[in-house]
């Protein structure tokens, strides 16, 4: 599943000791095993591999396409190959790239590479990631040029974007908070680059600081990244720390499962983190959750929505009860509850509709290696039936979502799946 | 395990027996290695069908292997053969290509790899019976155009590249009209030698 916005440590990494070109073996040989292990772990936390590896491609060799509203970007080779990768880089240059979004030649990186988040990474952590990348097998594979439409193919435009949206600077711990909270904040805001999806993206392709973690529709993918600050969405203010941590690390929890683009994050990144780190992230995320007023109600006329409800119950009873239960109670953690499930009641119904159309498995993780999956219903249910069953689950058992229309269901049939 | 593969049921049947849809094949009883190769190919995006790519994207190989073994172990009856709509001559051409091939055009008989009963061989070669005409024709077309590929050496792509559209229609008509044999299971590995190297069936 293509993830839009993160490009990758593009031309980043470079050689530690180095000025010269023997980089691909020398740094690895000299780096301490503890540093390499730490670097590998942090590279997991940053999910570098997800964007910098093409489907069936060699790890970190780049070439993955990233569709954006401005054209297609191709991720870069971050293996230590001196010609096509970052084998000639130094640790200074790598840190410079992470911290300022500039490659060693001074070129500006496209902000699909989440340097707006990585700028918060400490020098020591950046060095460890660099040492690790210099230790992976070098791959000779030239970077594929980006395919951006005019005027976005002009890198100078990035200057404007940076002025509006980029704030350089390492993470500063909040002395009023616990060490655990600060560790969580560092991971969420920095390497985890959660804001890339969970902070709304405006028409200029930027995240606004004042709307941090308030959620938004992910461009090109047609999945809604829920707000992490609203307890009506993915805000976890009323979840237990254990429920949040389970969700991040195993992909399932007693409150719900990850799906859509978040499944990739758990699969490639979060499942590898220590329980202490996902717990710290949980502590921080829980502190973001706020009570907010209920969403606006639907504009579907009452008569129509009562027809939808009655059809919806018929569809639900026939298709959904065996796993999700007659009262929407589910069989957690394997079949998520629908009653009280925030993900279903959000003002955007996009995700609930897409789950019905496309089904899906939570990611197979160390903590949940054999997930149960949901069948796709796109072939068997009409637009009207999809709208009806989604309306039913959004408004029954005390759920406070709004009705959805057959048109909304129909439009999401063509949402991209890859 | 049945519950874990329920996501497959709407298109492939609760027992992997297939559904009425002419493009979704039955899965039950196909050799486990073949099913595993397809699951991995869909997961990695090499075999392209977005609903399948999406469903499998984040499942580990050990789990896909378990699914493949489970589906391979099911044994519902094969779907009934299609009533042929093609004329006798077309069917005769199809039968000849399937059972004898055409040496002058470098087309081996289907039976030389898929078995004299067309039931396939474990672990990687599928049987060819019980498939609907639209499915057979779509897959042969996909092999010919290179949109379906297998592990190298990709013998099936080479073979399909030698087929014309007329050949595909004839092979499809005859294969889909064949009744299921009494013993539908694939024969064990090594029952016969393959005429050429095949990435899906290391020898």
Query: Where along chain B do its domains lie?
Result: 3-73, 88-177
Contact A52, A78 (CB under 8 A): yes
A positions 180-219 inside 8 Å of B (CB) = none
Q: Which residue of B has its CA nearest to A251?
A: B58
Does position B40 have pLDDT exceeding 90, yes or no?
Answer: yes
Sequence-ordered list of residues with C-beta below 8 angstroms from that of B31, at least 6 positions apart, any chain: B72, B120, B121, B122, B123, B124, B125, B126, B186
Query: Cβ separation of B10 and A372 shorter than 8 Å?
Result: no
How confident is the model at residue A14, as a pLDDT? 30
Which residues of chain A are within 8 Å of residue B44 when distances are taken between CB atoms? 55-56
CATH architecture of B88-177: Orthogonal Bundle (1.10)
- A218 forms beta bridges with A223
Q: Is residue A395 part of a domain?
A: yes
Residues A151 and A277 in one domain: no
Query: Cβ separation of A358 and B62 shorter than 8 Å?
Result: no
Q: Is residue A311 part of a domain?
A: yes
Q: pLDDT band at residue B101, thresholds of 50, 70 and 90?
A: very high
How confident is the model at residue A154, as a pLDDT? 82
Provide mean pLDDT across the span A313-324.
96
Range of the domain at A266: 179-288
Domain limit, last residue, from A109, A132, A165: A165
- Collapse the DSSP code of A170 into the 3-class scheme (helix H, G, I; strand E, B; otherwise coil) and give the result: coil
Residues A155 and A190 in one domain: no
**Average model confidence (pLDDT) across chain B:** 93
What distance in Å separates the CA atoms of residue B167 and residue A72, rounded to the nearest whole number?
40
**CA within 13 Å, CB half, A137:** 6
Q: pLDDT band at residue A18, thresholds of 50, 70 and 90?
A: very low
Provide mean pLDDT across the span A135-157.
89
Q: What is the pLDDT of residues A359-389, one digit of tens each?
A: 999 999 999 999 999 999 999 999 999 999 9
Residues A118 and A33 in one domain: yes
- For residue A404, what are its two tokens? 């959805």
Does position A11 have pLDDT exceeding 50, yes or no?
Answer: no
Domain limit, last residue, from A165, A192, A227: A165
Q: pLDDT band at residue A226, thresholds of 50, 70 and 90?
A: confident
| Residue B87: CB atoms within 10 Å | 10
Q: Pick the closest to residue A196 from A417, A346, A1, A7 (CA basis).
A: A7
Q: Is residue A27 part of a domain?
A: yes
Residues A161 and A183 in one domain: no
Q: Pick the closest to residue B52 from B66, B38, B63, B62 (CA basis).
A: B38
Q: Is residue A206 part of a domain?
A: yes
State whether the Cα torsion B128-B137-B167-B105 is positive or negative: negative
Q: Is A51 annotated for ligand binding?
A: yes
What distance in Å separates the CA atoms of residue A200 and residue A195, rounded to the nearest whole number?
8
- Cβ-Cβ contacts under 8 Å between A and B: the total is 79
How confident is the model at residue A51, as a pLDDT? 94
Residues A125 and A220 in one domain: no
Q: Pick the closest to residue B43 from B54, B32, B34 (CA basis).
A: B54
Q: Pick the closest to residue A324 from A288, A355, A350 (CA basis).
A: A355
Does position A67 have pLDDT exceeding 70, yes or no?
Answer: yes
Which residues of chain B are within 8 Å of residue A375 when distances are taken between CB atoms? 6-10
Q: pLDDT band at residue A197, thresholds of 50, 70 and 90?
A: confident
How confident is the model at residue A209, as a pLDDT? 65
Q: Which residue of B has its CA nearest to A271?
A: B58
Residues A47 and A125 in one domain: yes
Residues A102 and A195 in one domain: no
Provide mean pLDDT across the span B127-140.
94
From A61's Cα to the closest Cα of chain B, the distance in A is: 16
How confident is the model at residue A24, as a pLDDT? 44
Query: Cβ separation of B53 and A264 shorter than 8 Å?
Result: no
Provide mean pLDDT across the span A15-20.
32
Q: Is residue A336 part of a domain?
A: yes
Q: Does A331 lie at the interface with B, CB-CB under 8 angstroms? A: no
What distance in Å separates the CA atoms of residue A213 and residue A207, rounded to the nearest whole number?
9
Report the number of distinct structural domains present in chain A: 3
Q: Is B155 annotated for ligand binding?
A: no
Query: Cβ separation of B44 and A56 shorter than 8 Å?
Result: yes
Q: Does A330 lie at the interface with B, CB-CB under 8 angstroms? A: no
Does position A343 have pLDDT exceeding 60, yes or no?
Answer: yes
Residues A278 and A393 in one domain: no
Does position A15 have pLDDT exceeding 70, yes or no?
Answer: no
Provide mean pLDDT across the span A306-328.
94
Residue indicated by tokens 């939570």: A362
Query: Cβ separation of A418 and B56 shorter than 8 Å?
Result: no
How confident is the model at residue A198, as a pLDDT? 86
What distance in Å separates the CA atoms of residue B126 and residue B136, rounded to the nearest whole number?
12
Domain limit, last residue, from A288, A317, A332: A288
Q: pLDDT band at residue A216, thresholds of 50, 70 and 90?
A: confident
Which residues of chain B are within 8 Å of residue A418 when distances are taken between CB atoms? 45, 50, 53-54
B positions 128-157 inside 8 Å of A (CB) = none
Query: Which class is B3-73 in CATH?
Result: mainly alpha
Residues A145 and A249 in one domain: no
Q: What is the CATH number of the domain that holds A403?
A: 1.10.760.10
How confident is the model at residue B127, as a pLDDT? 94
ipTM: 0.87
Q: How far is CA B36 from CA A57, B25, B60, in A?
A: 20, 15, 12
Q: What is the pLDDT of residues B162-190, one digit of tens each?
A: 999 999 999 999 999 999 888 888 999 99
Q: Same topology for domains B3-73 and B88-177, yes or no?
A: yes
Phi first, then psi: what are they for B160, rounded to 5°?
-65, -30
Query: Cβ separation of B7 and A380 shorter than 8 Å?
Result: no
Residues A248 and A354 in one domain: no
Query: Cβ separation of B63 and A1 shorter than 8 Å?
Result: no
């Amino acid at each position: 599943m293509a993830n839009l916005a993160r490009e990758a440590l593009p031309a980043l990494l470079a050689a530690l000791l180095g000025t010269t070109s023997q980089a691909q073996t020398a740094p690895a040989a000299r780096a301490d095993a503890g540093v390499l292990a730490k670097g590998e772990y942090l590279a997991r936390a940053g999910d570098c591999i997800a964007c910098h590896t093409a489907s069936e491609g060699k790890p970190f060799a780049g070439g993955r396409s990233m569709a954006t509203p401005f054209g297609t970007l191709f991720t870069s080779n971050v293996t230590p190959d001196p010609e096509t990768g970052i084998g000639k880089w130094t640790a200074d240059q790598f840190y410079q790239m992470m911290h300022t979004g500039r490659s060693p030649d001074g070129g500006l990186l496209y902000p699909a590479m989440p340097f707006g988040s990585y700028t918060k990474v400490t020098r020591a952590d950046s060095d460890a990631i660099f040492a690790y990348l210099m230790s992976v097998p070098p791959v000779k594979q030239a970077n594929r040029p980006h395919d951006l439409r005019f005027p976005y193919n002009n890198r100078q435009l990035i200057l404007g974007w940076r002025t509006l949206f980029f704030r350089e600077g390492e993470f500063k711990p909040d002395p009023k908070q616990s060490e655990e909270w600060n560790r969580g904040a560092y991971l969420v805001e920095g390497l985890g680059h959660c804001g890339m999806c969970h902070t709304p993206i405006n028409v200029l392709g930027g995240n606004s600081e004042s709307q941090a973690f308030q959620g938004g529709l992910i461009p090109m993918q047609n999945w809604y990244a829920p707000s992490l600050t609203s307890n009506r969405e993915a805000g976890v203010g009323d979840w237990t720390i254990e429920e949040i941590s389970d969700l991040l690390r195993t992909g399932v929890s007693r409150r719900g499962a990850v799906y859509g683009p978040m499944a990739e994050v758990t699969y490639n990144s979060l499942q590898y983190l220590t329980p202490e780190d996902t717990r710290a992230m949980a502590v921080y995320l829980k502190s973001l959750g706020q009570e907010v007023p209920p969403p606006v109600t639907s504009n579907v006329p009452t008569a129509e929505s009562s027809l939808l409800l009655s059809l919806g119950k018929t569809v639900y009873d026939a298709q959904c009860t065996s796993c999700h239960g007659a009262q929407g109670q589910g069989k957690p953690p394997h079949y998520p509850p629908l009653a009280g499930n925030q993900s279903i009641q959000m003002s955007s119904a996009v995700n609930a509709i897409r789950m019905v159309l496309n089904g899906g498995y939570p990611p197979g993780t160390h903590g949940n290696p054999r997930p149960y999956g949901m069948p796709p219903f796109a072939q068997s249910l009409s637009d009207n039936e999809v709208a009806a069953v989604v309306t039913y689950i959004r408004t029954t058992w005390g759920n406070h979502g709004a009705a959805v229309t057959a048109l909304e269901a129909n439009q999401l049939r063509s949402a991209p799946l890859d | 395990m049945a519950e874990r593969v329920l996501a497959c049921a709407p298109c492939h049947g609760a027992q992997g027996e297939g559904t009425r849809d002419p493009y979704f094949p039955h899965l039950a009883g196909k050799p486990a290695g073949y099913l595993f190769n397809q699951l991995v190919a869909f997961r990695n995006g090499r075999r392209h069908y977005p609903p399948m790519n999406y469903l499998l994207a984040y499942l580990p190989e050990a789990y896909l292997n378990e699914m493949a073994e489970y589906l391979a172990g099911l044994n519902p009856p094969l779907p009934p053969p299609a009533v042929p709509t093609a004329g006798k001559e077309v069917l005769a051409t199809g039968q000849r290509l399937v059972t004898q091939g055409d040496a002058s055009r470098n087309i081996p008989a289907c039976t030389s790899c898929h078995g004299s009963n067309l039931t396939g061989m474990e672990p990687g070669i599928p049987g060819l019976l019980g498939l609907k005409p639209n499915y057979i024709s779509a897959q042969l077309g996909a092999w010919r155009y290179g949109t379906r590929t297998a592990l190298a050496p990709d013998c099936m792509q080479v073979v399909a590249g030698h087929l014309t559209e007329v050949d595909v229609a004839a092979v499809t008509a005859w294969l889909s009209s064949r009744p299921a044999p009494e013993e539908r299971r694939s024969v064990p590995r090594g029952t016969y030698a393959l005429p050429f190297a095949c990435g899906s069936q290391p020898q």
